C-alpha cells in the first residue's frame, strides 16, 4: 500500500514495514477515538518512531495513511497534526455515516446468525460493564459496536467505509462534544439488535438514524480546550499494547 507524505511524494513499504505502519495507524486511531489525542496535537515523525521503535520512514508512511483518512493534517516541512474539523465537516461526516449505517442494518435485518447475535449481545454487555468507569473505554466500545455490525455484513467496501467514517466521527466528537453518554449508547444499541433479530429492516434503519442523529446532537457543541501535552506520554499505553510488553518509563531531562 502506498501512502502520501507531506512532501507530496509516495513511497511503498515492504511487508514488515506495512505491518509496523499499520500498528501505528491503529494506535493513533484508537488514541483519537478515546480522546487521548485531540485536534491540533502535533505528531512528529521522530517522536512516533522512537515511541513505536520504528524508522522515521515508517512513521511518515503511517501519517500519510492517516492523512488520507482525514484524521491527520500533513503540513509543510513534514509537520503533522491531528486534524481539526470544521463544524460543517463534522455535520457532513455524520450525515454520510448515517446513510452508510442504514445500509448496514438493512443488510443484516433478519439475517444474523446465532453466533453473531451472541457476539453483539456480549459486546453490549461489555459496554454496560464499562459504565461508570473509564470514559475512553466506553467511547471505544461504542465505536467498535458499529464497526462490528459492518463487518457482519460481509461487504468489504461497506465495512471499510464504515470503519473510516466511524473514526472520523470520533475525531469530530473529540473536537466538539460534551461528555460521552454511555447509558444512551447501551440502550440504543440493544434496541438496534432487537430490531435486527426481529427482521424489521425499516425499524432498524429508523433506530440507527435516530441513534446517530442523537450522537451528533449530543456533540458539535463545545470547542476543544487548549492544552500542551507530551506526545510520548500520551501514546505510551498504545505503544505498550502494540508491543505486547510494558513500555519503559521515559527519562526526564535535567
Q: Is residue 20 part of a domain?
A: yes
Q: Is residue 250 part of a domain?
A: no
Q: Is residue 15 part of a domain?
A: yes
* Joined grid coordinates for residue 199: 427482521
Same-domain check for residues 78 and 96: no
Same-domain check for residues 125 and 42: no
Contacts of 168 (CB under 8 A, 6+ apart): 69, 70, 71, 85, 93
Same-domain check for residues 58 and 139: no
Distance set, CA 226 to CA 41, 172, 175 (Å): 10, 16, 11
Q: Across-strand partners of 3? A: 11
* Angle at the Cα of 72 from the Cα atoms of 71 and 73, rounded to 5 degrees: 130
Q: What is the CA radius of gyration of the chain?
A: 19
Q: Is residue 22 part of a domain?
A: yes
CB atoms within 10 A of CB 122: 10
Same-domain check for residues 94 and 177: yes
C-alpha to C-alpha distance for 177 and 209, rounded to whole angstroms = 19
Same-domain check for residues 133 and 174: yes
C-alpha to C-alpha distance for 147 and 18, rounded to whole angstroms = 22
DSSP alpha helix (H) spans, the chain: 15-33, 45-52, 56-68, 87-108, 114-130, 135-152, 156-176, 182-198, 201-218, 231-243
Q: Is residue 160 part of a domain?
A: yes
Same-domain check for residues 213 and 105: yes
C-alpha to C-alpha distance for 26 and 34, rounded to whole angstroms = 12
C-alpha to C-alpha distance for 191 and 200, rounded to whole angstroms = 11
Same-domain check for residues 114 and 195: yes
* Angle at the Cα of 47 from the Cα atoms of 76 and 164, rounded to 5 degrees: 70
pLDDT in tens, the chain (254 residues): 334 433 344 445 556 667 899 999 999 999 998 888 999 999 999 999 999 999 999 999 999 999 999 999 998 777 899 999 888 898 899 999 999 999 999 999 999 999 999 999 999 999 999 887 777 888 889 999 999 999 999 999 999 999 999 999 888 887 876 555 555 688 999 999 999 999 999 999 999 999 999 888 876 544 444 445 677 777 878 787 777 755 444 444 44
- DSSP letter at 105? H
CATH number at residue 233: 1.10.10.10
Domain count, the chain: 2
CATH number at residue 157: 1.20.120.530
* Joined grid coordinates for residue 231: 506526545
Structural domain of 26: 2-84+225-243
Q: At what angle do helices 87-108 and 135-152 cross, to 10 degrees?
A: 50
Same-domain check for residues 79 and 94: no
Amino acid at each position: 500500500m502506498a501512502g502520501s507524505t507531506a512532501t507530496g511524494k509516495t513511497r511503498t513499504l515492504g511487508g514488515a514495514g506495512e505491518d509496523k505502519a499499520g500498528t501505528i495507524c491503529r494506535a493513533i486511531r484508537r488514541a483519537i477515538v478515546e480522546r487521548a489525542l485531540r485536534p491540533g496535537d502535533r505528531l512528529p515523525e521522530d517522536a512516533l518512531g522512537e515511541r513505536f521503535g520504528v524508522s522515521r520512514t515508517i512513521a511518515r508512511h503511517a501519517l500519510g495513511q492517516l492523512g488520507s483518512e482525514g484524521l491527520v493534517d500533513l503540513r509543510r516541512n513534514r509537520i503533522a497534526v491531528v486534524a481539526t474539523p470544521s463544524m460543517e465537516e463534522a455535520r457532513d461526516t455524520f450525515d454520510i455515516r448515517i446513510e452508510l449505517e442504514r445500509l448496514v442494518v438493512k443488510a443484516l435485518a433478519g439475517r444474523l446468525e446465532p453466533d453473531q447475535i451472541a457476539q453483539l449481545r456480549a459486546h453490549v454487555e461489555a459496554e454496560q460493564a464499562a459504565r461508570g468507569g473509564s470514559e475512553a473505554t466506553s467511547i471505544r466500545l461504542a465505536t467498535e459496536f458499529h464497526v462490528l455490525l459492518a463487518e457482519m455484513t460481509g461487504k468489504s467496501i461497506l465495512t471499510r467505509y464504515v470503519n473510516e467514517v466511524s473514526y472520523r466521527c470520533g475525531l469530530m466528537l473529540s473536537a466538539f462534544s460534551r461528555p460521552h453518554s454511555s447509558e444512551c449508547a447501551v440502550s440504543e444499541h440493544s434496541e438496534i439488535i432487537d430490531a435486527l433479530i426481529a427482521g424489521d429492516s425499516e425499524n432498524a434503519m429508523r433506530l440507527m438514524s435516530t441513534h446517530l442523529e442523537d450522537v451528533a446532537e449530543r456533540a458539535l457543541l463545545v470547542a476543544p480546550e487548549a492544552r500542551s501535552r507530551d506526545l510520548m506520554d500520551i501514546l505510551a499505553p498504545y505503544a505498550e499494547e502494540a508491543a505486547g510488553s510494558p513500555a519503559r518509563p521515559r527519562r526526564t531531562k535535567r
